[in-house]
Amino acid sequence: MKLVIAVVQDKDSNRLSNALIKEGFRATKLASTGGFLRAGNTTFIIGTEDERVNEALQIIKDNCKIREQVVTPVSPMGGTTDSYIPFPVEVQVGGAAVFVLPVEQFEHF
């Protein structure tokens, strides 16, 4: 048995949740925050049999897309804002960070 943890952008959360349910995967969704932009995201926790891990990974890959987003950097801490002129920067956001962990024991009460 494996534990799949996928951190995805909020924009992909509903689409991924629906796709996982459609294919018979059970997942727990957690609201989370982090990353470069400190933006909201969703963490999916999925327990599955070893032979279905690749199927779960493909569903995540198909439903979580990388996007380009223009952001304006925050002014440097401790610096003077008089000389700081923020220029918009294009960054990649989205996609999924996925971890697959072995499960030693699983109990359901």
Angle at alpha carbon of residue 19, lines to 34 and 62, rounded to 5°: 70
pLDDT at 8 over 70: yes
**Which amino acid does the sequence have at 82?**
D
Distance of CA 31 to the CA centre of its chain: 10
What pLDDT, on the 0 to 100 scale, is given for residue 7?
94
The pLDDT tens digits of the residues spanning 16-55 come to 999 999 999 999 999 988 766 566 789 999 999 999 999 9
What pLDDT, on the 0 to 100 scale, is given for residue 37?
59
pTM confidence score: 0.76
pLDDT at 73 over 70: no
Instruction: Give 11's pLDDT tier (boundaries 50, 70, 90).
Output: confident
